[in-house]
Structure 1
Amino acid sequence: MDVAFPSGADTCAAWLYLPERTEGERPPVVILGHGLGGVREMRLDAFAECFCEKGYACLVFDYRHFGASTGDPRQLINIDRELADWRAALAYVRSHDEVDGSRVALFGSSFGGGLVIDVAAADGGVSAVISQCPFTDGFASARAGGAVSTARVSVRAIRDVASATFRRRPVMVALAGPPRSAALMTAPDCGPGYAALADLAPTFRNEVCARFALDIARYFPGRRAKDVNCPIFFALCRDDSVAPASATRRHAQRAHRGEVVEYPCGHFDIYLGDPFERAVTDYIDFLKRQLPTG
C-alpha cells in the first residue's frame, strides 16, 4: 500500500508491505532504501516481495528530492538529509500499530548500503542490517571513477555550488555514463547496468545536482562498521566497479557481528537474474536467524 512519512519539512513516499498473519500478530519489519539517485521501482520492490512472502513487513521508500517524495531542488543527493530520511523511516515503523517496531532490520543497497551502516551504528536499537554491494569508502569509489571523469565532474560541482549560493538553477551531472565522461559512475558496465534498472522506473532521471561530487571522497561509512552492535550481513559483488569489494572487506572485518558473502558478479548484476535469486535466498536465511517470524 502507498504510505508517506515526514522527514524534515518534506515527505518521503513509501510502500508498506504487510504479510499474511493471524489476528493481532505484529510482524518484524525490514526498511529498504536505494543508492545514488535510485528510486524504489528499481528492484527494491522485488526484494520486498520476497521478504513479505516469508512473513516480514517491509517499508520501501524514496529519499527526499527523488521519485515520488517531495523536496526541492529535485535530484539533490545530500548525505545528512538521506541519513535523516532513514531515521524518519525508523520512527515511522516504530510507531506503526501493524508491525513490531521493536524488531527492525535495515536493507540498503549501493550508497544506501553505506548509509545503513552509519544509521545502525548511531541508532543502537536496530535488530539486523543487510548491506548490499555497499559504498563504504569514498576514496576507493572516487578512484574507481578515473582521473579524467573526476576532473570533469569536479568542475561542474564547483559551478553547482556557486549556483546554489546565488539561488540559480542547479548544474547537473550524470549518474552513469561512458568511460572518461562527466558522470559519477563511468566503468563500462555502469551505463548498461543502470539502464536495465531504469527501464523499470519511469520516475528515474540519470542526473543529480553536481555539488554532491565534492562530498563523495570525504564519506567513509564503512569506518562505522565497528560501532554496529547488531548482526550485519555484507553482500559483496566480487567484480564491483563502483564500490570496490576490497575496501568493504577491510571495513567488514571490524564489525563485531558481521557476516560477509561474496557473489561472482558486478555491481548492477545483483538486482536481476541468478545473482538476485542467490542473494535474496541468503538474505532471507539471515533474517530468519536474526528476526524469526511467527
Structure 2
Amino acid sequence: MTPSDLPSPTYHRTDATFSSQGEDCAAWLYRPAAAESPRPCVVLAHGLGATREGRLDAFAGRFAAAGLNALVFDYRYFGDSSGQPRHLTSIKEQLKDWRAAVRFARALPDVDAHKIALWGTSFSGGHVLLTAADDPDIAAVISMNPFLDGHTTLRSTPPAQALALSRAGLRDVARAALNRPPYLVPAVGGAGTRAAMASDEALQGFLAMFPDQEPPSTDISARILLRLGMHRPVQRAARVGCPWLLQAGTTDNITPVDPVRRAVQRAPHARMSLYEGGHFAPYVGAAYEKVVTEQVDFLREHLH
C-alpha cells in the first residue's frame, strides 16, 4: 500500500464511483474517523491532464483531519475513470463531471447537502468558478493557481510555442474528423518541448509531486489547445455568490495573477491570497503548507 492508503488516526479513505452521462468517474471518499453526521463535503479534481494521484490526497487528507468529508475524482477519459478515447479533454464534459460529482456528494448519507464546497486547481480552478456560478447552493469555493482567462495566458505564451500548439490542435481536429485516435501532446514538459506548459520550472515542479515514483503521463488531446485562448471563466466571476478563496503565485507565468485580481473585484464574497513561487509551488513544501492551512481555516469558517 502507498502511504495515502494506510489507515489514519483522524480519517479513512475508501474508493467510490459515480456516473456522469453513462461514464464511471473513479473517486476517493475521505471521512473523518470521529465526527458527527451529517458533515460538510469538499469536492476536488485536478487541472489540465492531471489526475487525483497528483497530490490531491495531501489536500483531501487535511480537510478530513479537520472534520470534513472530501470527494476526490478523476474526469472521464482520465486516470481510473472510464471513457474512450483516453486523454480526450473537453471543457464541456469536465463541467458535466463536476455537476455529477456534486450530485453524488449531496446524496451521500453522511453529507450535509447544504454545505458542499468546491476545490479546484489550475484548469479546474476555473471549472469550480463556472460550477458555482450555475449552482447557487454551493456553500464555498477554493481556486488555487486558477486558470481564469485564456486571453491573458495566451498573451504570455511565446509566439513560436503558440504556433506549434495551434498546429498540434489542428492536427488533432483533422484526426477526429477521420474518426482516428486523438493526437496527443503533454500538458507539462521542459522548455522547448511541444507541451502545453513548456518550461523547466513547470517540469521540475510537476516531478516534485512524485518524488518516490515514476510520474504519470499528462497527455491531452491537442484539440483543447485551440479552445484555451477563448476560455474565460473570469467573465462569470460576478455570479459566484458564495465565499470564494483565490490563491495565486507571485511568479506564476502559466496562470498569471491579474485575472485573479479581476475575479476578486467582481465577485461579492471573494478574497485573494498570494503565495511565494510559480504555478507548481503550492503542491509541495512551504507553499503547500501555507495554502492548505489557509484552505482549512477558510472551510472551517464557512462550512461549520
Q: Tell me the TM-score range normalised by the shorter chain.
A: over 0.9
From 140, 159, 163, the counterpart of 1:151 = 163
Cross-structure match for 2:22:
9
What is the deviation of 1:191?
Answer: 1.3
CA contact (8 A) 1:157 1:211 kept: yes
Between the aligned partners of 2:27 and 2:170, the Cα distance in structure 1 is 33
Q: How does 1:209-248 map to 2 (within 5 A)?
A: 209-248=221-260
Paired residues in the alignment total 291
Q: Deviations over 1:8-50 (max 9, x none)?
A: 1211000000113356x21100001110011101111000000
Secondary structure of the equivalent of 1:280?
A: helix
Distance change >3 Å, CA 35–CA 200, structure 1 → 2: farther
CA contact (8 A) 2:207 2:215 kept: no
The structure with higher relative contact order (CA 8 Å, sep 6+) is 1
The one-letter amino acid of 1:120's match is A
Between the aligned partners of 2:299 and 2:178, the Cα distance in structure 1 is 48
CA contact (8 A) 2:19 2:25 kept: yes
What is the deviation of 1:198?
Answer: 4.8
Cross-structure match for 1:35:
47
Verify: 1:254 aligned to 2:266, yes or no.
Answer: yes
Between the aligned partners of 2:249 and 2:195, the Cα distance in structure 1 is 21
Q: How does 1:72-111 map to 2 (within 5 A)?
A: 72-111=84-123
Q: How does 1:1-294 map to 2 (within 5 A)?
A: 1-22=14-35, 25-198=37-210, 204-292=216-304
Secondary structure of the equivalent of 1:136?
A: coil
Secondary structure of the equivalent of 2:119?
A: strand
What is the deviation of 1:225?
Answer: 1.2
Between the aligned partners of 2:198 and 2:120, the Cα distance in structure 1 is 22
CA contact (8 A) 1:238 1:262 kept: yes
Distance change >3 Å, CA 101–CA 75, structure 1 → 2: same
Q: Deviations over 1:81-114 (max 9, x none)?
A: 0000100000001111121121100000000101
Q: CA RMSD in A?
A: 1.4
Moved over 4 A (4+): 198-203
What is the deviation of 1:201?
Answer: 7.2
Gap runs ≥5 in structure 2: 1-13
Q: Deviations over 1:140-190 (max 9, x none)?
A: 112233111111111111111011111112111121223343221123311
CA contact (8 A) 2:122 2:146 kept: yes
The one-letter amino acid of 1:83's match is L
Between the aligned partners of 2:55 and 2:96, the Cα distance in structure 1 is 23
Between the aligned partners of 1:16 and 1:180, the Cα distance in structure 2 is 39
- The more displaced of 243-252 and 31-40 is 243-252
Distance change >3 Å, CA 271–CA 22, structure 1 → 2: closer
Task: Using structure 1 for the length normalisation, give the TM-score.
Answer: 0.95
Aligned-pair identity (%): 39
Between the aligned partners of 1:12 and 1:240, the Cα distance in structure 2 is 30
Gap runs ≥5 in structure 1: none
Between the aligned partners of 2:94 and 2:230, the Cα distance in structure 1 is 16
Q: Deviations over 1:50-80 (max 9, x none)?
A: 0100100000000111100011111111000
Between the aligned partners of 1:112 and 1:103, the Cα distance in structure 2 is 20
